[in-house]
Amino acid sequence: MQFQESKMSAACLEFFPFLNTIEWENHRNKFAAIGSGVLFFGSVWLMIDTSVAYSPTGHWSNVYFLLTLAGSIAFFMINAVSNHQVTGQAMDEGILGTKGARLWMMFAFFLAFSTLVASLWIMFANFVLVEGDIPNWPGLALFFHSFFIFISSLLYKFGRSEEMYG
């Protein structure tokens, strides 16, 4: 099996010559799905681990899981609409058409950014700017959790190709 040289030419990856032998375009959907799944799973695992470690000490509230719920809903909302529906190139426009798909995406990104802003707010208000002997890690974990879910939704949405057989 002979590998073709990839079109990938990033200066940070030139120290890893074996990456030039991978056919990135043929496996783009696999890598995007694996990367997105690892980020999503890692973020949920981080949240559960932080809640288990800091709930007995009183530095964690289970209300923070609402950000997990909102981020997960935003993830599914972002990926429920294809790029062809948003650009108006779909064969079947569905019930609301292109404008409905764009509104859906706008609300999905609004929800995703809202979880990021809320996690930053909670991190600074409840952990970073509070004086005393309060650990900062639960706030950082909450922000990283929301950030990883946001990045995983972007990776799964825009990292894949939506061609029929790609």
pLDDT tens by residue, 65-78: 999 999 999 999 99
Q: Is residue 9 part of a domain?
A: no
Full domain range(s) for residue 100: 30-158
Task: Estimate the share of the chain in helix, then strand, then coil, as percent rounded to the nearest 5.
Answer: 70, 0, 30
Whether the per-residue pLDDT at 14 is higher than 80: the answer is no
CB-CB neighbours of 50 under 10 Å: 22
Least confident window among 17-21, 122-126, 152-156: 17-21
Average of per-residue pLDDT across 106-127: 94
Residue 91: per-residue pLDDT: 67
Q: What is the pLDDT of residues 87-99, one digit of tens each?
A: 777 666 667 778 8
Question: Higher pLDDT residue, 3 or 52?
Answer: 52
- How many domains would you assign to the chain? 1
Domain membership of residue 15 (yes or no) is: no
* Residue 24 covered by a domain: no
d(CA 129, CA 134): 10
pLDDT tier, 55 (very low <50, low <70, confident <90, very high otherwise): confident
C-beta separation of 72 from 115 below 8 A: no
Query: Does 47 map to a domain?
Result: yes
The answer on pLDDT for 127 being more than 70 is yes
Residue 50, domain member (yes or no):
yes
Q: 144 pLDDT exceeds 80?
A: yes
